[in-house]
Structure formats: C-alpha cells, structure tokens
Structure 1
Amino acid sequence: MNPPSTGTVPLTASGLHAYDVFNGDADGICALHQLRLAHPREATLITGVKRDIELLKRIPPGEKADVTVMDISLVANAPSLLRILRDGGQAIYFDHHSGIGSFPHARVTLHWDDSPDVCTSVLVDRYLNGKCREWAVVAAFGDNLAAAAHALAATMGIDRERLQKLEELGRLINYNAYGERVEDLHVAPDILYRMLRPYTDPLDFIQGSDQFRLLSEGYRDDTARMRTLSPASETDGGAIYLLPDAPWARRISGTLANKLASGGTSRSYAVLTERSNGGYVVSVRSGQPELRSANRLCEWFPTGGGRKAAAGINCLAAADLENFAKAFHEYFAPACADALPTTTHVQ
C-alpha cells in the first residue's frame, strides 16, 4: 500500500498535497466519513489493517502535505509528523489513544481525548456539532463503546430497531479490519471507505451494498469457529485466549476481545493470535480502565500501545509469551491497586 507518486496526489487550494490518513477499523473509517460528508475534498487515502498504525511514514519525504489524520497513535507517528512539518506541511489530527507523542505546533490542530468512553469518531462528532452523528454511533458500537453509542443515539431519538442495525454495521466494519495483512480481510479498508462515501444514511449502505452482505456472511462463518474457543489460562482477574495462525483467527480476534469485554464484569481479557512469521499479535481489554489501563500494560512490551480500555502489542516475541501471561495476571489481579507487574522484562 505505497502512496502514489507526487504527480498523482490531489492538491489543496493552497497548493499542498492532500492526504487523508486513517485507521482501517470502524472508528477510523467512520471518523473520516463524517468529516468528508461535512467537508468534502479529494485526497490520497493512506490506511491499512487495524495494527498498521505507522501510516504517516508513507507520505513521501520532501513533499508539502496537508494531512488529515484519524485514529492512529501519536506515539507511533510523532517522528513522521515532525518530518512532515519540517517539509512545510500541516495537519489536523483526531485521536483517542495515548497522547505521549503530542507537541504544540502552529501548523498542527490536535483534537485529542483518551477518556475510556471516547473514540475518534466521537471527537469528530464534537467538531461537527453532531452533523453526521449516526456514523459516530456506528463507530462507537464498532469500538465496543456501547454506552457512548447509546448516549449519542438518545440525542437523536433513534428507535430500537434502527439502533440495532447501526450496531451491526459498526461491528462488521470493525471486524473487517483485523488481519496480519490486507489479504486477510474481506474488503481492503480504503475500498470499504470508498464504498461508504456516497451514503449519508447508514441504513442505505446496509440495504444497498454488496460489501455489507459480504461482511455479514464472513462474520457469521468466523464467529461459528469462535464459539469453540476456551481460555489458555484464567484467574479471578481475567483470562488469556490463544488463537492459531489462520486468516479466520486473525479476522475474529478483535471481535472475540470485544465480546469478552462486554460481559458486564470487571474482569480483563487478552487475545493472542499467532503471526505467520513468529510471535503473537495481542489484544487486551481492561475491565477497570481507569484503575488498570490496558495501554499501560501493553506499553511495557516492545510494539505495545493503545488506550485505557483497549490496547495491544503488534508483535509479542514467542519467547515472551510466558512473561506476558505472568505480567497480565499480576497486573489485573483483584488485589492489585495499580502497580506494574513485578516480572522482569528486558526491552
């Protein structure tokens, strides 16, 4: 997914090269969709699977870029953002992950909030004063923020039947983002975004889109496999699941993590999926995000990060599996206040 050559990149009115950069999950896609419904522009799209987050690296060095960024971590992208600014570019950045990499700059407008009940589409909804709110509801459901989705829906008087359809759409768009590579997905995220673009009403997309039917059928088949899974290890504080190196497992990993986390308890969960080239992709859901944030645990390991309620590790070495399991169960033990694990780990 390399960006096109400079000559094919759309230009803004001020002569800068326009890029829309977004996470390939429900939150990233719906955040950009809201913004472009309200403020249309042609731009080169840069996206990828959910864990492909160092997306600003793909903007060519030396190019003056006008960049809109949705739902990718500042921690992972701060060096590339600084390089874009040094090249004379500018950015508007919407995100709800850790803000450790943030910095003030005259040509950066940052909309950021890492509260556990906020996703990037909620930030865009605030920015647009609710102009495209149903798509924020879709995104919140997809990001496993049911309470936030219901709160937004209540301001619009959405009936129960319609709300259930928005929830299903959010779940399916988010499900589609999980994979080791784009080939694992049913629909490439940039293509899925382009398919959404003509639709102001989410239900029109549900009723008139072949992509919706494709995702619905894939989800049904993959979740049937998910029902056979059981924890690899379990304590009072939480459970760890291990999934095999298979496309279906990679696709369903986020859905499994969200389903486990929506059980209404204070327990926490980790879903580890084998990578084809060794190691594991890790998804963590905290049952008490304000007390024991998921990202704090994941940041303790190389390639780890995320937000308070949901975080992950892009590549956990196979040799660190036992270390991670011990750290997870120590960190989320009910008697633990907010201490980091005592397990020694060498970065």
Structure 2
Amino acid sequence: MHFDVFNGDADGIIALLQLRLAEPKSSNLVTGVKRDIQLLDKIDTSAADTVTVLDISMEKNLAGLEKALFSGAKVFYADHHKSGLIPAHDSLEAHIDLDANTCTALIVDKLLTGRYHTWAITAAYGDNLIAKADELADVAGLSEEQKAKLKELGTLINYNGYGSQLDDLHFHPADLFTALLSYDDPFAVIADQTSPFHLLRAAYQRDMEQALAIDALYHSEKLALFELPDLPSSRRISGVYGNLLANQAPDSAHAVLTENRDGSYTVSLRAPLNNKQGAGDICSQFATGGGRAAAAGINALAKSQLEAFIAAVEAYY
C-alpha cells in the first residue's frame, strides 16, 4: 500500500502533482485544510508500505514519522518548514530545505530536473514567492501574460486550501489534486472552461471584495492587522488576503485575524517581504502557533492575548 500525505495548499498539491505526473501510482491520498498539518497521525503502515510526505513540518509530525519508520515502511519526505532533528534511518529519504525563498514544489522540481517546471513556478506563485517565481519564469522565457496566468492559478489553488474545516472549501484538496492530475501543463487548466480554475476564480473575487471592504483593526509602521468576521468566506480568503497585503506594503508585517466559533482568533502572519524572517518564531510563542520564517499562523489565539501578539510582532521587527 502507498500513502501520499500532503498539505492541502498550492505547494503541497503541486509538489505531489509533479511526482505523480512523473511516476503515476495508485495511492491513498491523505490531506486536509491548509492548517491540518499533523497528517502522519492519520495513517497506519506496515513493513510492505511506502509513504510520500510533502509540505508538512517534520517537527510537527515526528511521532507519526517515527511510528511509520518503526513499522518498516519506507518514507520519502520533502518539505521547507521547520524540521527539528531529522531521524537517521535507512528507510527515510529526506529532502528538507528551510530557505525562505523556496517551497516544497521547487524542491521536487530540482529532484525531477525541471520536468514539470511550469507547475513548480505556479506553486511558487501560490506560496507567495513572487520574486522567485518571476525569476524562474523569466529564465524559462515566459511572457508577462503567461506569468500573470500562472500567478493567478497558483493563488487560486492556494486560496482553496484555507478554512477551519473541509466544508469551508470549494474543493476537497484530494479532489482538487485528482482533477489537476489530468493536466500535464498549467496553461491547459486555464484554457479548459470546465476546469476548477474558473469556479475558483469567481469565488475568489467574491470573497476578496468582502475582505477589501474592511478597515485595519491596528496599524503602525511595523504591522497592519485586519480582523475578518466569523464567516466561511473569511476563513477561505485569510491566507491569500494576507499575501496580497504583504505584496502591497513589503516593508511591513501583516496579520489577518479570523474569529473562530469559540471566540478565539485564527491568525495568519506574514513577515515583511523585504525581511522574510521571524514569522514562525513569533507564532511559536503561542500555544497553537507555528510556521516558517516568511509565513506562519496561530490556530486559536485568545482575544486576551491579542495585545501580547501585537507586542511580539512589534518587538521582533
């Protein structure tokens, strides 16, 4: 039995997409909303099994990884999030790169020697590595129009992954991956009027219009913070909205708060694009927080901790 375990955002989906286009394989797809990252806890393996793990922190999945390795399963692991100490094990093939200007799909792209390079560029756009994606697209000889199309597709795939539960999403990430697997080339997805691209585009525009109508809850030279209401549209748009804000003001950090049903906040934090560090360290100071240097989050921040969060961001930057 083979398991494909992957983050439900653009990077996780497209990293797996490249691998399965290169090596088609029947597998059990294990994924979820973007913030559902302890995915290895959801599988049980035996000595005959193989596992591919993409775009989820090894540190957050260490117990599940060790359990899989102990069972005798062989594990391929590629990621760009905080890894902690990587287990030394003959059955583990780990490709971890913590550079703030890379993502899992770009790691896979190197392993495949650029076989599906335009898909990897799409993932970089979706993961808000705009400068890196532009650089790769320029080297690949893509036009400005083509770059804009890949950026939009990457953003829409990423947008689909945000939500507190699967019901918030337009597509289950496993279903979206399966649909995209029909296309060797991302431009073919855009050209096909029946593809997920067009439904996601219309939904994204509606959700973004609602977010853009909301004024900042807090604003300083170092941080702009926005609170979105407890609605599925808010939970869907929070991450890509944070990316949009970050690109509009690259010298400032940005945080998007989405109110949870229990009264706490889900937090999406973006480090300044011109200083892509610290977001993961800041969010890790809070019980349900974590992430990488450029982008991180907190699953449940009590409202009483909001001032402490603002102070932590202000102190870091």
For the superposition of Structure 1 and Structure 2, which TM-score range results when normalised by the shorter chain?
Answer: over 0.9
Task: Kindly report which structure 2 residues correspond to 1:158-307, keeping only aligned pairs within 5 A, or say none.
Answer: 158-208=142-192, 209-287=194-272, 292-307=277-292
Residue by residue over 1:240-259, the C-alpha shift from the partner in whole angstroms, topping out at 9 and shown as x without a partner, is: 11111100100110111101
Residue number in structure 1 paired with 2:83: 99
Q: CA deviation at 1:62?
A: 5.4
The runs of at least 4 aligned residues of structure 1 exceeding 6 Å deviation read none
What's the CA shift for 1:324?
1.5
**8 A Cα contact 2:119 2:186, kept in partner:** yes
Q: TM-score, normalised by structure 2?
A: 0.95
1:326 aligns with 2:317: no
Is 1:111 the counterpart of 2:95 in the alignment?
yes
Distance (whole Å) between structure 2 residues aligned to residue 215 and residue 291 of structure 1: 28
Contact 1:26–1:139 (8 Å) recurs in 2: yes
* Alpha-carbon offset, residue 66 of structure 1: 0.8
Whether the aligned pair in 2 keeps the contact of 1:250 and 1:273 (CA below 8 Å) is yes
**1:81-138 residue CA offsets vs partner (Å, 9 max, x unmatched):** 0011111111111100112252222111111111111011110111111110000111
Find 1:134's aligned residue among 88, 95, 118: 118
- In structure 2, relative to structure 1, the CA distance for the partners of 1:327 and 1:278 (3 Å cut) is same
Q: Secondary structure at the match of 1:262?
A: helix
State the Cα distance separating 1:322 from its structure 2 match.
2.5
Give, in whole Å, the separation in 1 of the partners of 2:138 and 2:259. Answer: 40
Q: CA deviation at 1:73?
A: 0.8
Deviation string 1:57-88 (CA, Å, 9 cap, x unpaired) is 11026575311011001121011100111111
Q: Shift in Å at residue 288 of structure 1?
A: 6.0
Hey, what does 1:41 align to over in structure 2? 25
Work out the CA distance in 1 between the residues paired with 2:255 and 2:77.
Answer: 29
Q: What amino acid sits opposite 1:112 in the alignment?
A: I
1:14 counterpart residue number = none
Distance 2:63 2:188 in 1: 40
With over 3 angstroms needed to count, the CA separation of the structure-2 counterparts of 1:22 and 1:291, relative to structure 1, is closer
Deviation track 1:236-281 (CA, whole Å, cap 9, x = no partner) reads: 1111111111001001101111011112532111111111233111
Q: What residue in structure 1 maps to residue 132 of structure 2?
A: 148
Contact preservation (8 Å) 2:3, 2:52: yes
Report if the CA contact (8 A) 1:292-1:331 is conserved: no
Deviation at 1:167, TM superposition (A): 0.8
* Distance (Å, rounded) in 2 between the aligned partners of 1:316 and 1:289: 26
> Matched residues in 2 for 1:68 and 1:274: separation?
34
How do 1:12-31 residues align onto structure 2 when only pairs under 5 Å count?
Answer: 17-31=1-15
Amino acid at match of 1:29: I
Which letter maps to 1:161?
A: E
Report the CA distance between 1:156 and its aligned residue: 1.8
Aligned residues: 316
| In the alignment, structure 1 residue 313 sits paired with structure 2 residue 298 | yes
Aligned partners of 1:289 and 1:308 also within 8 Å: no
* Aligned match of 1:69: 53
- Checking the alignment, whether the CA contact within 8 Å between 1:269 and 1:286 is kept in structure 2 is yes
Tell me if the contact between 2:250 and 2:274 (Cα under 8 Å) persists in the aligned partners.
no
Alignment check: 8 A CA contact 1:64 1:87 kept: no
Mean Cα deviation higher: 186-195 or 207-216: 207-216
The higher radius of gyration belongs to 1
Do the aligned residues in 1 keep the contact of 2:225 with 2:255 (CA within 8 Å)? yes
Match of residue 4 from structure 1:
none
> What runs of 5+ residues in structure 1 fail to find an aligned partner?
1-16, 333-347
- Pair 1:205–1:86, CA change in 2 (3 A): same
User: Aligned in 2, Cα 1:104/1:181: closer, same or farther, shift over 3 Å?
Assistant: same
260-269 or 305-314, which deviates more: 260-269
The one-letter amino acid of 1:328's match is: V
Instruction: Please report how far the alpha carbon of residue 153 of structure 1 lies from its aligned counterpart in structure 2 after TM superposition.
Output: 1.3
Secondary structure of the residue aligned to 2:100 is coil
Change over 3 Å in CA distance of 1:263–1:61 after alignment to 2: same
- Structure 1 residue matching 2:256: 3-state secondary structure: strand
* Identical-residue share of aligned pairs (%): 43
Question: Contact 1:116 / 1:289 at 8 angstroms: preserved in 2?
Answer: no
- 1:289 deviation in Å? 7.2
Return the alpha-carbon distance in structure 2 between the equivalents of residues 125 and 62 of structure 1.
29
